[in-house]
Homo-oligomer: A and B are copies of this chain.
Amino acid sequence: MDFRKIPNETIRRLPIYLRGLKLLCKQGINNISSLKLGEFVDVNSWQVRKDFSYFGSFGTPGVGYDVTKLVRRISKILKLDVVQKMALVGLGNLGSAIHAYGGFSIYEFEIAAIFDIDPEKVGTKNNNIVVENVSRIKLLKKRKIDLSIVAVPSSSAQGVVDALVKAGVKGILNFAPCYLKAPKKVKIINIDIASDLACLPYYISKARG
């Protein structure tokens, strides 16, 4: 066990391991070595072992890791051992795609509320969830939802974040391509699709020349 600060990069890899392990579990694989798991998710075996070592001893020397046990331990570390309710703000193209996206369920996330500003959308049902006006974001505290996905245009993103912060939201996954101010206690993770894409031509020109 290692009580030094846990690297951010290690945290970022834990969900990758978790997904891989859940898949292996479904395939009926009960035991796996760091080498095999690493191959499965494209991480070096020593990186896998080092990552796990920050949280204690997970495996058995000479044998490997018990897949089910590992799933449980990583889920616990990431607080994904209980269903995490989220609010989705913005039901445009991207918001709708996110709502329809099935990839969140393996981590026990559940979209429990949807907000939009468009009166045409407010009141309609989507996957059994009634779309609410953004003015109702302030009620999130009472509903014990402290995670939110922001899928609104850049121009309205800061306003939405301010409302979410006021409503006691502690974690935000932001898709708007802009910097958002929030108190330090609120964790914002930005997904900036266009900027990620914008790196590609640089790398492929390197490969060519």
Contact = CB atoms under 8 A, between A and B. Distances in A.
Interface in A177-193: 177, 179, 185-187, 189, 191-193
Interface stretch (A62-70, A92-100, A130-138): A92-100
Given A93-B97, A97-B94, A192-B16, A197 B104 contact: yes
B203 A187 contact: yes
Give the size category of A's interface with B.
35 or more
Interface string A102-141: 0110110100000000000000000000000000000000
Interface in A9-41: 11-12, 14-16, 18-19, 40-41
B208 A12 contact: no
16 contacts: A11-B202, A12-B199, A15-B194, A41-B179, A79-B201, A79-B205, A80-B198, A94-B101, A103-B194, A106-B194, A107-B198, A146-B204, A170-B207, A173-B197, A189-B197, A189-B199
Interface of A: 11-12, 14-16, 18-19, 40-42, 77-80, 84, 93-94, 96-98, 100-101, 103-104, 106-107, 109, 146-147, 149, 170-173, 177, 179, 185-187, 189, 191-205, 207-208
